[in-house]
Structure 1
Amino acid sequence: MNIYYKFNSFLIILISILLLISLSAAAEEDFTAAELLISASELNEKLEAGSENLKIIDVRSSARYLLGHLPDAAHMWGDDLSAVQGWVPELIPKASAFSELAREKGINNDSEIIIYGEQASPWPARLWFIFKVYAHQDVRILRGGYQAWNREDYETEMLPYNPGEGNFEVSDVKNEWLINSDTIAENLDNDDFLVLDTRTEAEYTGEETNSAAPRKGRIPGSIHLEWSAVLDEEGNYKSAAEISRIFQEAGVTRDKEVIAILSHNGVRAAHTFFTLRLLDYNNIKLYDEAWVGWSNRSDLPVEMN
């Protein structure tokens, strides 16, 4: 009888642990727009099924790409994701240039696009944002990045992938996802207009600045929430509930008319934009001219601690 009781107690404890693990995993997946992400196992199933429309893009450095990448993954990096020429360095590429690049990478208008990078990198969100601004709907990000793929010991390749030319062409632009310096300046006293700065604390307070930005500081009245605040120590997303709480406590709320998101050059801001889209925020815009653009405009005010 005693042995039977101990076995039942052990079984109850084991079931409870498994239930807690299951509930925790469910919480992590509880994003309103979870379809913007794809797991390593889901992507592997698609590769094994041999989907012709599937296009995978690696946005890590060239060196890391050559050390190993997902099967048939094209590579984009650096200047591929920015306009090389322009009054602000690193704006998103012009539609014509991006169309040409996408075709070179074998991407078609009807391609199902999966983007991945390092586990805690904002670059996949940057490319996701560019595709979405240029109205390509079927694009997702690999949850956990290359590290998640490696942990499952799925197949990788080392030789560069050279696809045939695709037919991708930008046919529309979602300008409503972008905002410029003048519009922000006109709304500095608007309580329904929020400027969210996703740079580091040192950049926000004016202790530091980066290249191409001659002035230190921040946009007056902006609030600060570093882009990586939504990630855990391993670089994975925290639970949807916790991320929602982080944004709410920072004042990033759905009742604002506009939430304009900025970073130094738009890359980290794109990660925050993507995260808010996972939570189905619809009042967000990316300030692509970024701190570099604001800093270079001597007619625009700057605030420092």
Structure 2
Amino acid sequence: MAYTTLISAAELAANLHKSDWVIFDCRFSLADDTAGSKAYRQGHIPGARYADLNQQLSAPVQSYTGRHPLPNFAALSQQLGAWGVGNRSQVVVYDDAGGAFAGRLWWLLRTMGHQNVAVLDGGIQYWQKQNLPFTTVLPKITPSHFRCYLDQQQWLSAAEVENALAANSITLIDARTPERFQGLQEPIDPVSGHVPKAVNRPFQLNLDKQGLFLPAEQLKTQFQTLTHLRPPAQVVHMCGSGVTACHNLLAMEIAGLSGSKLYAGSWSEWIVNKNRPVAKA
């Protein structure tokens, strides 16, 4: 069986021994970019490699980009091969933030043509609550060859977003907290507010009190209400830097609403150009 959206802790535990499964620890903190790698070294799921949001899953920041530009896909393909990922591998990604960072690698792999990638439901916290294996031993990696089949239709540029909003041909969903969306507070970026015409759905709403994703039917109802039944292909997701937006995109895929897209640069790129409009409240 191939896993393409979510995998449960029990399902992953039952497949830990399989050589064609590759696990990634994607823990990260925007407040301390070394926290994730430190946490990994202190303990991780057996066999997991550490994928760093800044180092491997993003390109260097430029004056015209947002905070986490899309990576160089050729370099990432090479890195995936070095990590032991082949085109037939089942990949599992996890973090300690409900999938907020793991979703980035999930989306990147799918955009590179690799469908067999799933986010661990409940993340490392739920895994540990189930008393499942945990180790400090680094994995022994057999390098593989990963061939990228990049689909550049999976993300939009700022200009494409601006034009599509003007034509009313998309619904733009912002995954940030209401306080940031409304411009009431902005702890990260130099300008507060949101893209005019965007709607707000904090990614945390996709999870229940245990940190597990809501049932597919519940997610489907919520997203269809938010988008007024607009076709998923006309739905675009954003956030602060194109990372947590992937969580809403994943939630729509879980709900069977396949085909929504990412505004990869997101808010931190939008505000680089001072001519772009900003809305508040």
Could you say which TM-score interval applies, normalised by the shorter chain?
Answer: 0.7 to 0.9
Runs of 4+ aligned residues of structure 1 deviating over 4 Å after TM superposition are: none
Q: How does 1:28-39 map to 2 (within 5 A)?
A: 35-39=4-8
Q: What is the match of residue 190 of structure 1?
A: 167
Given the superposition, is the C-alpha separation of residues 252 and 162 from structure 1 closer, same or farther in structure 2, using an over 3 Å criterion?
A: farther
Contact 2:23 2:48 in 1 (8 A): yes
CA distance in 1, matches of 2:12, 2:175: 30
SS at match of 2:13: helix
Q: What is the match of residue 33 of structure 2?
A: none
Residue 45 of structure 2 is aligned to residue 70 of structure 1: yes
SS at match of 2:166: coil
Which whole-Å deviations, capped at 9, do the CAs of 1:249-290 have from their partners, x for residues lacking one? Answer: 333534466111100001110110111111122341100011
Given the superposition, is the C-alpha separation of residues 157 and 122 from structure 1 closer, same or farther in structure 2, using an over 3 Å criterion?
A: same
SS at match of 2:271: helix
Q: How does 1:1-305 map to 2 (within 5 A)?
A: 35-47=4-16, 50-60=17-27, 61-79=36-54, 80-86=56-62, 87-88=64-65, 89-118=67-96, 120-170=98-148, 172-211=149-188, 213-251=189-227, 253-255=229-231, 258-305=234-281
SS at match of 1:101: helix
CA displacement at 1:300 relative to structure 2: 1.4
SS at match of 2:165: coil
Across the two proteins, how many residue pairs are aligned to each other? Answer: 269
CA distance in 1, matches of 2:128, 2:118: 19
CA RMSD of aligned residues (A): 2.1
Q: What is the match of residue 32 of structure 2?
A: none
SS at match of 1:165: coil
CA distance in 1, matches of 2:4, 2:113: 17
CA distance in 1, matches of 2:279, 2:39: 39
Q: What is the match of residue 27 of structure 1?
A: none
Structure 2: segments with no counterpart, 5+ residues: 28-35
Letter in 2 for 1:235: G
Contact 2:84 2:141 in 1 (8 A): yes
Given the superposition, is the C-alpha separation of residues 107 and 257 from structure 1 closer, same or farther in structure 2, using an over 3 Å criterion?
A: closer
Structure with the bigger percentage of helix? 1
CA displacement at 1:119 relative to structure 2: 5.5
Structure 1: segments with no counterpart, 5+ residues: 1-32
Contact 1:133 1:175 in 2 (8 A): yes
Letter in 1 for 2:250: F
Range with greater deviation from structure 2 (122-131 or 148-157): 148-157
CA distance in 2, matches of 1:100, 1:34: 23
CA distance in 1, matches of 2:210, 2:191: 33
Which whole-Å deviations, capped at 9, do the CAs of 1:212-256 have from their partners, x for residues lacking one? Answer: x43221111111111111212232112223222322333353446
CA displacement at 1:35 relative to structure 2: 4.9
Letter in 1 for 2:182: T
SS at match of 2:252: helix
Contact 2:111 2:151 in 1 (8 A): yes
Amino-acid identity (%) = 24
Given the superposition, is the C-alpha separation of residues 278 and 34 from structure 1 closer, same or farther in structure 2, using an over 3 Å criterion?
A: farther
CA distance in 1, matches of 2:203, 2:114: 25
CA distance in 1, matches of 2:133, 2:259: 40
CA distance in 2, matches of 1:283, 1:41: 28
CA distance in 1, matches of 2:75, 2:228: 34
TM-score w.r.t. the length of structure 2 is: 0.88
TM-score w.r.t. the length of structure 1 is: 0.81
CA distance in 2, matches of 1:257, 1:136: 19
Letter in 1 for 2:21: L
Which whole-Å deviations, capped at 9, do the CAs of 1:120-155 have from their partners, x for residues lacking one? Answer: 231111110011111112211212212232233222
CA distance in 2, matches of 1:277, 1:159: 34
